[in-house]
Each structure stands twice: as C-alpha cells, then as structure tokens.
Amino acid sequence: GAVVSQHPSRVICKSGTSVKIECRSLDFQATTMFWYRQFPKKSLMLMATSNEGSKATYEQGVEKDKFLINHASLTLSTLTVTSAHPEDSSFYICSARLGTTGSNQPQHFGDGTRLSIL
C-alpha cells in the first residue's frame, strides 16, 4: 500500500523549455502533497506544500511563478518548471500524505524526476 508514482523519471531539454512533472497517489487519497528538490549528496529541501483544491504554499526563496504547482484532485499533483534554465537542473521528488496540515501520518515518496537543462 501507499504507492506514489512520479512521471517522467528523467527529462533532458533545452534552456527556455517548460517541463511538467506528475505525481500520483495510486492506492490512497492524498489530501496533501509535497514537492522537494535534492542536490547531489544532500538531503531533501522542501519547495512547496499543496492541499487538494487550494493554492500551494511555497517555502521562502522558492519562486512561485517559476515552479507552478497544481493539485486538482486527491490523487494528482503536478509541478511545472517554467522557462527552465541550467540552474534548475536537479532531482525533484514528490510525496503524498493522508490528512491536512496537522496530520502526523508518514509521507510516501515518488521515485523522483531527474531534470537536466542544456
């Protein structure tokens, strides 16, 4: 149980392209989804939190116009990196969790998307 699918697993594209990453909870309804970024040999850095049907809450320093998040249903959230540049190259990971802000249920993670901008 608690399977989270993330697609695509790898993207290579030219600078200026917009890239959309999908995150789906396959066997449970995810009230809350999270988007993280991970640099090589570093831990996970939270980018934003989204609750189904609400606007995402972005962490300090994360550009909301650059990283567009949509959480239109209880099983799907998308992250769109708009006009991507080489400095946006990274490993992006989503997670999903039952319950809203106060929930202490575990987050379940997707397998990540390796984004490379040329």
Chain residues binding another protein by CB under 8 A are 2, 4, 6, 32, 34, 42-44, 46, 49, 93-95, 101-104, 106-112, 114
Task: Identify the burial level of 71 via C-beta atoms within 10 angstroms of its C-beta, where 0-12 means exposed, 13-18 middle and 19 or more buried.
Answer: buried
Residue number, 93 or 117, with CB nearest to another protein: 93
Q: Which helix (H) or strand (E) holds 70?
A: strand 67-73
Residue number, 84 or 110, with CB nearest to another protein: 110
Contact 81, 19 (CB under 8 A): yes
- The residue to which tokens 């040329």 are assigned: 118
Nearest approach, Cβ of residue 16 and another protein (Å): 26
Nearest approach, Cβ of residue 73 and another protein (Å): 21
